Copies of this chain bind each other. A is one copy, B any other.
């Protein structure tokens, strides 16, 4: 067969252009490092395409990821690519009037997901990074069937990246691209402590 000739096209009724531009659900899972970091790396590509990028961090600590947050916000301010919004759950989401109870993480996670659903319906962003979103799902704070249904039915051309350990099999099922990050060796094993520039 001559080089560059595809033997058979998928029988999915789509044109090459449609297949090329299909919006993806991407999952980064596993116990190793790099799940979130690679998601933020993809945000750089989205920014360069001029896409609106929304990052939603489903973790409590504001210390981690500050490097990425500062960098993506600085990039957004250059105005040379797409706008980047960074929202973290912490003690209440930035769009919320409620100061909220610091302890009600379940309610905060549900509120975060409700906002993401609204944005998906409105086609607010070209790329969504749902960082550490597997945890509120696994803890039962967000209904996985609702997530799956919403992602499958989302309109337009919106890419969604979900990171976190132990991704639910239902998420894996509907995702187009799933990568598992596995720890082979970690400095914490040798008594190394977390350090700036590397862990945050």
A interface bracket (residues with beta carbon within 8 Å of B)? 35 or more
Residues on B with beta carbons closer than 8 Å to the beta carbon of A44: 40, 67-68, 71-72
In the complex the two chains form, is B34's CB within 8 Å of A198's CB? no
Given contacts A22-B192, A197-B49, A200-B45, are A78 and B74 in contact (CB under 8 A)? yes
Indicate with 1 or 0, residue by residue over A34-52, a CB within 8 angstroms of chain B CB atoms: 1111111110111111010
Residues on B with beta carbons closer than 8 Å to the beta carbon of A16: 193
Residues on B with beta carbons closer than 8 Å to the beta carbon of A177: 33, 185-187
The CA-CA distance from A47 to B81 in the complex, in Å, is: 18
Residues on B with beta carbons closer than 8 Å to the beta carbon of A21: 195
User: Does A12 reach chain B (CB closer than 8 Å)?
Assistant: yes
Residues on B with beta carbons closer than 8 Å to the beta carbon of A194: 20
In the complex the two chains form, is A198's CB within 8 Å of B24's CB? yes
Given contacts A177-B185, A182-B180, are A197 and B67 in contact (CB under 8 A)? no
In the complex the two chains form, is A48's CB within 8 Å of B20's CB? no
Indicate with 1 or 0, residue by residue over A95-135, a CB within 8 angstroms of chain B CB atoms: 00000000000000000000000000000001100000000
In the complex the two chains form, is B41's CB within 8 Å of A126's CB? no
Residues on B with beta carbons closer than 8 Å to the beta carbon of A172: 184-185
Indicate with 1 or 0, residue by residue over A3-42, a CB within 8 angstroms of chain B CB atoms: 0000001101000100111101011111011111111111
Question: Distance (Å) between the CB of A78 and the closest chain B CB?
Answer: 5
Considering only residues 149-200 of chain A, those with a C-beta below 8 Å from chain B are: 159, 172, 175-187, 190-198, 200
> Contacting A197 at CB < 8 Å: which of B22, B40, B70, B159?
B159
User: Does A62 reach chain B (CB closer than 8 Å)?
Assistant: no
Could you pull out 14 A-B pairs where Cβ atoms are within 8 angstroms?
A22-B192, A36-B41, A37-B37, A37-B42, A38-B181, A41-B68, A42-B198, A45-B196, A48-B71, A70-B81, A71-B75, A71-B81, A74-B75, A181-B182
Closest 3 CB pairs of A and B: A45-B67, A37-B41, A10-B191
